[in-house]
Amino acid sequence: MAQLLREYYELCEGGVCQDLLTEDEKRFVRDGGMMLSGMMQMAETQNGNGRVYPQAILEREVKNYKKLVKDKRALGELDHPEDSVINLRNVSHQITDIWMDDNKVMGKMKVLDTPSGGILRSLVDSGVSIGISSRGLGSVTENAGKTIVEDDFQLICFDMVSEPSTPGAFMMRENKNRIEEIFTKADRINRALNEVLEE
């Protein structure tokens, strides 16, 4: 039987990786907007809720979710509601990109100019550690002491929450003044190539 599955990942202010941003997103940050980026979910790893998401299932759901991102409908709320409906009055952010990096789901989000977005921005500006949490519908089975998410899983959205369950899974604030952290192998390669080209 399908149930509401929610997973928590820690968001913290700090690291920066401007190479992940498009030119429009860099402009948005320079003009005072807030972008966050980093790991949003992880496959083949037992999380704090005891669940394991198979790689193939997350890859499929990320591919499907990219359609919502492209249509600018990939919205998330501040705090998890108790149902599977995204309530527009509570929307705080919009996912602007999502991709797989090995077994990690990586992404970027824009904090929106909504009441909930204003609260999220204020919390991040104040240095509060905020979690990111996936919300989806699906079945689970028990196998060798692990709870395995089944093939009927459907990703709904990513919400911002106060209770993370996966240590080391960080969303980082994109900062217009400094670059402190690199998230992906591709980004490391791009950075090295850019440095060679600038010389």
pLDDT single digits (tens) 142-186: 988 889 999 999 999 999 887 655 544 456 666 544 333 333 344
Output the pLDDT for position 9: 55
Q: Which residues pair with 38 in a beta bridge?
A: 107, 171
Query: Is 93 assigned a catalytic role?
Result: no
Query: Is 133 assigned a catalytic role?
Result: yes
The position carrying tokens 């527009």 is 88
Which position among 92, 116, 133, 134 bears the catalytic label? 133
Output the pLDDT for position 156: 95
Mean pLDDT lowest among 10-24, 40-54, 96-110, 156-170: 10-24
Q: Which residues pair with 132 in a beta bridge?
A: 9, 160
Which position among 80, 93, 116, 134 bears the catalytic label? 80
Coil vs helix vs strand at 191: helix
What are the backbone dihedrals phi and psi of residue 188, each rounded to the nearest 5 degrees, phi first? -60, -45
Alpha helices, DSSP H only, in 46-181?
A: 55-70, 115-125
Mean pLDDT of the chain: 79
| Cβ atoms within 10 Å of 182's Cβ, excluding its own | 17
Mean pLDDT of the region 22-40 = 84
